[in-house]
């Protein structure tokens, strides 16, 4: 059932679980990434696996290419590609939001916190819709990156493997939000954002 923001004001049916001002997003991310769960173990394990892959590839290409070429591809993988992927990452949040019925979708950034985010103003997202929005960039970009690592030759494997690791760490905020849902998996959580006030709200459905 689709709800509107006013529906969540019914205290007999919903309870405000958490309110997160955008200015405190970094604190929220660190707090929920530190809460141990299957999801956080999965996230940190994947980051470790991706890092291990980059080390293996680096060992394999050592001695075959000039150091300057290796450094050049390192910059591509750790700086250039992560920067240019940002709009595509955010677009992969926008598309699931749009498919879920959100109309007033906004993309923002907070340079003080080094954060980019997508929000759907006053759109109430169900647990399934929210997970769809949160998972999509990580799954799509990681899958494409893994294919490229397998297909591309030489130092491009090194560049893309570095990027795959860097992008995984860039998804920390998405995994923190997913961990909020996982830790409260016994509850049915609905969420909406006030993009004007720059605040996010999470409600538990009581009945």
Task: Give the pTM.
Answer: 0.91
DSSP characters for 97-138? HHHTT--SEEEEEETTTTEEEEEEBTPPBPHHHHHHHHHHHH
Residue 1 pLDDT: 63
Q: Taking residues 167-194, what's their average pLDDT?
A: 95
In a domain, 8, yes or no: no
In a domain, 2, yes or no: no
In a domain, 162, yes or no: yes
In a domain, 3, yes or no: no
In total, how many domains does the chain have?
1
Q: pLDDT tier at 37 (50, 70, 90 boundaries)? A: very high
In a domain, 10, yes or no: no
Whether residue 157 has pLDDT greater than 80: yes
Mean pLDDT of the chain: 92
In a domain, 6, yes or no: no
Which of 10-19, 41-50, 109-118 is predicted least confidently? Answer: 109-118
Q: Do residues 63 and 88 lie in contact, with contact meaning Cβ atoms separated by under 8 Å?
A: no
Q: pLDDT tier at 154 (50, 70, 90 boundaries)? A: confident
Per residue in 93-112, pLDDT tens?
999 999 988 989 999 888 78
Note down the domain range covering 160: 16-205
In a domain, 23, yes or no: yes
Whether residue 207 has pLDDT greater than 80: no
Whether residue 8 has pLDDT greater than 80: yes
Q: Do residues 183 and 7 lie in contact, with contact meaning Cβ atoms separated by under 8 Å?
A: no
Residue 46 pLDDT: 95
Q: Taking residues 59-82, what's their average pLDDT?
A: 86
Q: Do residues 35 and 125 lie in contact, with contact meaning Cβ atoms separated by under 8 Å?
A: no
In a domain, 9, yes or no: no
Helix (H, G, I), strand (E, B) or coil at 75: helix
Q: Do residues 168 and 175 lie in contact, with contact meaning Cβ atoms separated by under 8 Å?
A: no
């Amino acid at each position: 059932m689709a709800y509107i923001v006013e529906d969540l004001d019914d205290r007999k049916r919903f309870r405000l679980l958490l309110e997160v001002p955008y200015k405190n997003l970094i604190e929220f991310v660190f707090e929920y990434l530190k809460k141990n769960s299957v999801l956080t173990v999965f996230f940190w394990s994947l980051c470790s696996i991706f890092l291990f892959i980059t080390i293996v590839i680096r060992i394999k290409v050592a001695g075959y290419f000039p150091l300057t070429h290796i450094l050049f591809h390192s910059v591509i993988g750790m700086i250039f590609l992560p920067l240019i992927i940002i709009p595509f990452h955010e677009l992969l949040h926008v598309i699931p939001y749009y498919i879920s019925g959100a109309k007033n979708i906004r993309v923002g950034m907070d340079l003080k916190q080094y954060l980019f985010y997508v929000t759907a103003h006053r759109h109430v997202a169900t647990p399934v819709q929210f997970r769809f929005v949160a998972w999509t960039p990580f799954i799509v970009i990681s899958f494409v990156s893994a294919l490229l690592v397998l297909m591309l030759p030489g130092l491009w494997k090194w560049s893309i493997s570095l990027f795959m690791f860097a992008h995984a760490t860039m998804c920390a905020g998405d995994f923190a939000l997913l961990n909020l849902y996982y830790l409260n998996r016994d509850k049915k959580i609905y969420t909406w954002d006030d993009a004007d006030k720059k605040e996010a709200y999470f409600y538990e459905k009581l009945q």
